[in-house]
Homo-oligomer: A and B are copies of this chain.
Amino acid sequence: MQDERLTVRRRDLLSLIGTVAGSAAMYHAMTALGFASESRYTGPIRLDGDVKGASVLILGAGLAGMTAALELRKAGYKVLVLEFNDRPGGRNWTLRGGDTFVELGGFKQTCAFEDGLHLDPGPWRIPYHHRALLDYCKRLRVALEPFIQLNHNAYLHASPAFGGVPQRIRAVKADFQGQISELLAKVATQGRLDEGVSKEDKEILLLALKSWGALDRDYKYKASLIASEYRGYAKPPGGGLSAAPMPSEPLALSDILKSQLWRHFWHFTNYELQTTMFQPVGGMDMIGKAFAREVGDLIRYDAKVTEIWQNDSGVTVTYVDAKNPTQPQKVTADWCLCTIPLSILSQLPINVGAAMKQAIDAVPYAASVKVGLQFKRRFWEEDDAIYGGISYTDLPIREIGYPNTGYNKSGRGILLGAYLFKSASSFEFTAMPPDERVARAVEFGAYIHPQYRSEFENGIAVAWHRVPFTLGCGGDWSEETRKQHYRNLCGIDGRILLAGEHASALPAWQEGAILSSLDAIARLHERVIKP
């Protein structure tokens, strides 16, 4: 797209290839020409050649570790995975009724959700361009359904604005867009537009603003059926003799600007959060479980690593039983792929070079808290016509996530009652006992949905800095830290190399973990094949 003429010629070429050689050949040509580049991932990794019996010890059975285990075994390596938890997946994790969870500090929670309901305390959505993760879902037969990121009928809420009354996203968006368009149209019709816009373009621009901004014939955005077709009606169109719609009244641009509600708009356009997003049917841990069906026989659970030691000939890892830490055990291998979060790894003895050690120590972990709440009925659907998606607020809970499954049914439902990702109150919530986190989520949520008061049943709260296996949500790279340490973190140090979301440019995303792992094992394999 950088050169239109070139693009045209490319297309002609591709069309020719498609006709002559079929669509698969054409797609490969497209990729080669940089025409279709949704992802670095272009299909299953190929690790050809004789690995001569090499062994790899993988630390961590999260998505990075299990991806490596699956592909390395396929390539002929001897593989063993050590995992701290008694389950696969790591942060790929789903809580259901009956699950228990003990956090750092000793608080133990037992999930009391009704059968069939769940919360994903870690990752909860998959972008369409996370092609590696999607390919593993396909290969491992994980069924997907849409995750609704933008629900026009969910709320934007700012306590000091609009008398504290939450506003429908559709209304705020349409009113902002409409009044921005009106401002620019006014400038254009009055000849005050930038001299860089040609007369011809200006005419089309006015048409475009009218259509895009729901402006009337005088380029005004105001209470009208035209604007209501975007923002919603006071009375929507009906049937029979009671059919006529009534327009709604826009919010003033000045009020929207002062409300700061526009700060949420990026959630609806950002590449990482664009349609079509997905979630696995039944919970995010369906992915971890699917990997474990393939490589579960390679995983030693409840293994808490206490030391990582290498010399010229291999790596020795010491571990204890995580639940009953008595006699340490040792395992050795030719190579070690370590996917342990840096928040943990930085506390372990490991003899890597100074550059990698500094990198391991340099990256703080983002704070995140999620609270799941069970309610007697899906009042957000029944009363408020909110089906899936997210409401945003300036209250400490920050987000309310509505379930993107089981729509329009009677019975109980789970809301994500708080999602404090790197927010001002993350550590405050982390410091609270879990039941207080839940109580606060209910209290704050009632400002958005007063039904909370009578419909709430039970909740569970995960504060990631208190999760023993990760002590934080994900690597929180600053631009500066990344410049200084990232390559040192990812390089091979003797016989050790690292992988995980922290070793990627997609921190806190599952795709980052997988791409990091694929990149690491490709480099490891090259070293093994051509020593």
Contact = CB atoms under 8 A, between A and B. Distances in A.
A387 B274 CA distance: 12
A515 B235 CA distance: 14
Number of copies of this chain that the complex holds: 2
A170 interface: yes
Interface in A332-359: none
Interface string A387-429: 1110000000000000010011110000000000000000000
Given A183-B193, A408-B144, A389 B242 contact: no
A192 interface: yes
Interface in A214-270: 228-245, 248-249, 251, 253-254, 257-258, 260, 262-263, 265-266, 269-270
A512 interface: yes
A236 B39 contact: yes
Contacts of A435: none
B241 A275 contact: no
Given A212-B262, A257-B204, A454-B22, A243 B486 contact: yes
Contacts of A387: 128, 276, 278
B240 A271 contact: no
A201 interface: yes
A163 B2 CA distance: 12
Interface string A349-376: 0000000000000000000000000000
Given A153-B129, A385-B131, A243 B174 contact: no
A255 to B, nearest CB: 8
Interface stretch (A4-12, A70-78, A293-301, A311-319): A4-12
Given A197-B183, A208-B262, A278-B387, A241 B138 contact: no
A254 B198 contact: yes
A5 B165 CA distance: 11
A4 B161 CA distance: 10
Given A262-B208, A520-B240, A231 B271 contact: yes
A208 to B, nearest CB: 4
A137 to B, nearest CB: 6
Size bracket of the A interface: 35 or more
A109 interface: no
A165 B243 contact: no
A108 interface: no
Contacts of A177: 269
Contacts of A308: none
A407 B270 contact: no
Contact of A519 (B5, B38, B240): B240
Contacts of A453: 18-19, 23
A183 B176 contact: no
Interface stretch (A90-98, A322-330, A497-505): A497-505
Interface string A465-484: 00000000000000000000
A30 B2 CA distance: 54
B23 A248 contact: no
Contacts of A174: 269
A274 B153 contact: yes
Contact of A491 (B23, B241, B244, B379): B241
A148 interface: yes
A205 B515 contact: no
Interface string A148-175: 1011110000000011110100110110
A46 B208 CA distance: 46
B265 A26 contact: no
A32 interface: no
Contacts of A40: 235-236, 238-239, 242
27 contacts: A1-B162, A8-B165, A15-B450, A128-B153, A128-B385, A128-B386, A129-B232, A146-B388, A148-B276, A151-B275, A152-B274, A170-B271, A173-B269, A201-B253, A229-B270, A230-B269, A237-B504, A238-B519, A239-B504, A240-B515, A243-B504, A243-B505, A243-B516, A275-B389, A276-B387, A276-B388, A278-B408
Given A39-B236, A276-B387, 6 more contacts: A7-B162, A26-B451, A138-B408, A138-B410, A239-B505, A276-B407
